[in-house]
Structure 1
Amino acid sequence: MPMPPSRDGYRTRWFLWSLGVLLLATAGGIVIVASGGFEDPSTAEQARQALQPTRHTVIYQVTSPGSTSALITYRADGVNNDKGVDNAKLPWKKEVVITAGPGAAVAQVMAAGGKAGSVSCSIRVDGRIVDRQTANGQFTDVSCSSVVQPGAG
């Protein structure tokens, strides 16, 4: 009389399939954890908002022991609109509003010191000093600049 088929082969295949599924699930979990897990919706929203155009108040200042600067040049819009002031009375101050986003904007001011012996500049963005420089010597130039990121402020 013939013997019934053995169930040992079935058990071996079942065990191997179960082990494979378990290893695949473990590997998937490791990948998720290593990549930072599932994205938190609030984090995703913060990232989107960080790229939205943001308005910033920029204050440029130039000071010197002398009473005038031969030329002051400043970035008026944060991108490429430079303005110049000839024979500016010192101390000089200019407030502009720039928009940063989706890329960064640039705040920049440059001044020629003339015969005064030194000239200084500073930039404030949203009330915080982001750059301050001083150049010494007659007929020297000074430059201050800062990158303004979207969403900051």
Structure 2
Amino acid sequence: MKIDLKSLRDEVNYLNLEGTADSLGLKIEWVEFSSPVKVNLRVLRSGKNYIGEGKVETVALFECSRCLKKYSQPLKADIRFLLKEEKDQIILESEDRENLAQTGNFFKLDDLVRESLILSIPLKSLCQEDCKGLCPTCGTDLNVTTCECKKEKNDPRWEKLKDFNTEKK
């Protein structure tokens, strides 16, 4: 994904870009991207300075951490950047990362878009907030049906710790 900086007017510019997860280098073992990555940007050009902000959106396919079902979920992230043209370089200035310089009239957004999407991936993927998961004994999906397995209250390996006295004398 590139922005042609020379084509931007000295005012607010609106850009809609689209690419694939593969073209952005988004290869994550447990995530499958099922739709194109869309970037909607608002870029303000003022001389040799560019201020950009916008949204990154796509849809990803996850496996639920509890019941192991596949489900799709939209991913949305914000993106912001400040670019400055100096001599023959375009410099990305950021508080979050080191300044990055590129040459030419085009600015590649791939790294910013990829990082934004990676940060929007949930740490624990759940098909629904109240997912009951699988029965640890028989493997039945507890969201669909109940099972007749005996549920032990306590693990017998921890039984001796009940007698352990933690009070100070």
Tell me the TM-score normalized by structure 1: 0.28
Does 1 or 2 have the higher relative contact order (CA < 8 Å, sep 6+)?
A: 1
Write 1 or 2 for the structure with the bigger share of helix: 1
Write 1 or 2 for the structure with the bigger share of strand: 1
Q: Which has the higher Rg, Structure 1 or Structure 2?
A: 1
Tell me the TM-score normalized by structure 2: 0.26
